[in-house]
Chain A
Amino acid sequence: MLIRTYSPWSVMDRIQREMNQLFDDSYRSDRFRYPAVNMWTNDRSAVVTAELPGFSSKDIDISILDKTVMLKGKREIDGEKATWHRQERMSGEFERSFELPFPVEVDKVKASFDNGILSITLPRAEADKPRKIEIKST
């Protein structure tokens, strides 16, 4: 008799591992990953948020190919002829890509930028949505 054990933690582990793979860009380990990104999903769409204070929306590029989202941007730090006391804020260019858990309808992707927070809403591709299958009784 085959006994199957079920542990709720193994489900969590699997989800965590899958997410880790989506965000694994360790091949570029020499550069830290900027900006920090949060991702929210439900079965219909995903929302990605990133903190990019001081950037203007024209300095941020979002591109999507299949399930990969790439964020690129730059921020200049002013204060040329100046004496610096502290310089802690990130300056210069960044480029970061990560994968989504499902393909999306690229034409319906919306992005907004408020108070330095970038928010991208990505609706799931219709073809990828789970379909109910009817069972016919004979």
Chain B
Amino acid sequence: MKRTQEEELTTCYHCGENCNGSIVFNQKKFCCEGCKTVYEILNENNLCNYYALNDKPGATLKGVIQTKRFAYLDDEQVKSKLINFNDGDISTVTFNIPKIHCSSCIYLLENIYKLNNGINRSTVRFTSHSVNIAFDNKKITLRQVVELLSSIGYEPDINLNDLEHTERKNYLRTYYIKIAVAFFAFGNIMLLTFPEYLGIGLSSESPMRLFFNYLNFVLSLPLIFYCAQEFFISAWNALKRGSLNMDFPIALGITAMFARSAYEIFSHTGSGYFDTLASLILLMLIGRFFQNKTYDTLSFERDYKSYFPVAVTVVKDGNEISTPLSKLKLGTRILVRNQELIPADSILISSASDIDYSFVTGESTPVMKRSGELVYAGGKNTGNSVELETVKDVSQSYLTSLWNDAIFDKNQAQNISTLATKMSQWFTPVVIFIALASCAYWWRLDLHKAMNALTSVLIITCPCALALSSPFTFGNMIRILGRYKIYLKNTIVIEKLANINSIVFDKTGTLTNTRKSDLDYEGESLGDYELQLVKSLVYHSSHPLSKKISAALNGVKPITTDQFKETEGMGIEGWVDENCVRIGSEKYLYGNTDTANEHGTGFRNASHVYVGINGRVKGYYIIKNEYRAGLAKLVKALNEKVKLYIVSGDNDSEREFLKQYVNESSLVFYQQPADKLQFVKHLQGQGENVMMVGDGLNDAGALKQADVGMAISDDVNNFSPACDGIIEASQFHNIDALLQYSKRGLTIVKISFAISLLYNSIGVFLAIQGTMSPLMAAILMPISSITIVSFTTLASNFLVPPKLKSLD
């Protein structure tokens, strides 16, 4: 132990990660060359304000390799799909940059024109994590723009989905305009109807009153033909399918109201119900707006294309050509670099490679593949670049063929039977019956009164309050859940959640925490100095197991070393402080001899990493998955209410451990992605309402098939497969509270249905007597709506389960 140069642990000035402080620039310490480079670039261009706005705002650049990754951006076809506007000189393009997270990001990205004068303008849209860039084609290419962004740590997320779909239609804008028009009409109609309320004695024939009435009629036209359009369309679509939805009585009420008002005005017999009509449409539009407002930044519709690269490197006659994935043909030689995904099932041509199949199986330990072996699409290469030859098409490969299942067919008729639609199945016939009956009753006595009664019943039963209850309750609940890091796709999900009676969990990544793992050590115990030796070596390796050991040896200070060699799939060897340290697989340490080291069967799943120092094998680390915090409590709470199942793509080594949580018959192992889908389908066949909780692409089929598919994610802005909701990993233990809250939500909706039915019956009672005045309608209908809105909002705020609230 001669010169043990202990390095001080510190944090990187750029990204805030722990580092040893060996990379210094301007008296500031960095964790890696990448971070330092970013600082240098920003420093040169006077953009250091970036660091002043927020403490350590950057993202680490460790492990990011700048190669020819973006060569495909020179492809004209890819270019034309990405660029949204091009007038010859100036092109504008919008990139998704998931790393945007603070005001420093906005500052830097909006100032990138200072870094390259080819960029004219850049505008960040924080809420959607995107940046819109206008650049000069003559000075800079699209590829250079992307490379510039990557060089400062903001790599755009370019995927096949972006290329295939045009920009998502901004439905919010339509709603803003519709609501504005409705509000405009509502305000003016109210103003013009006001004299009626006060009973100002204008005779029905006075020109002033006629003028007001005709104006009201004109103002109501955009309401009917523009704002209320969607109610008619939705009612008509449901009718075509042979069902009645809540929009049908709404459309009927609106029509009756409009027809009767128009008749009254043109026959000079009254002023009509335009005020009620306007307030009704306005309120219902606001309800729709709440119902449809979701999280713009989160994507719930991702399929494998979002994960797969846009282009692959094809090797042809010794040349590397970047080719868009859509043009990839069978039998093509491709090159897959470190950390790149394998796009299609292929045969390995290079000698050996470590493939990380965590996307496919959920198992995070890389698998060693040799030349000639088949590697499946979706695996990630974690070693040196390898050459492959494709044997299947991209869409026909092992993982991607999952998306050929009928469940992913988007044209499938949406068969949602919500409480509201169930209710309207009997509500509408009853309303029509009452209307016709009262009309028939009055017919013999007074034709005018008969028409009056008919229209009044249709108007007063227009289920405005009824239609508002679920959007306001569930919409408010979605916002509240969002505060507690549970993000649901839409309001229907809450209703479905309330009816769940089976939950299927994926194991790896869902029940277990992939970021943390249990580390045991067996063998000769290691002293402090020896631990330092181990840490110094694993610190330099990018292998997941090394990273885990490194993370476990958190407090240990590494010793500087630059003499080390990593053998793919085997281990790492290096000289640290004049000691020869070898860390790796059993074979790597013992050589090729059959040491036949026997382990207890309980450890089969666990990965072993052997440690040898100066030619002597000291022992091995056992790395086991760690289960998420609060799992035991959650399972206990859930077991009382629902049936639990665990479906794992892994081997059954943890059967004994999981048995304490669920019945042995509910534990299924060795499940392929398609098996998981079938498992969920099978449960549904038995009449169960299934919620699937998963995390990876391997669960995608099951998530989609289940009544509710919930994805667990460590970072909600990053990867998550298509699902109905995303739960941030820290909130995993609150799944029971989520179910409880949805049940309460459904109760709130039921109560508010009862309230609005009560209002309706009062109205109907007046209407069938033919005595309902327009003023009565104008008072009764908004009051019922306002009661519902305030009741649901207050109740859904008040009934949040305390467990959900106790954040952290």
A, B assembled together:
no
B interface list, Cβ under 8 A from A? none
- Chain A interface residues toward B at CB < 8 A: none
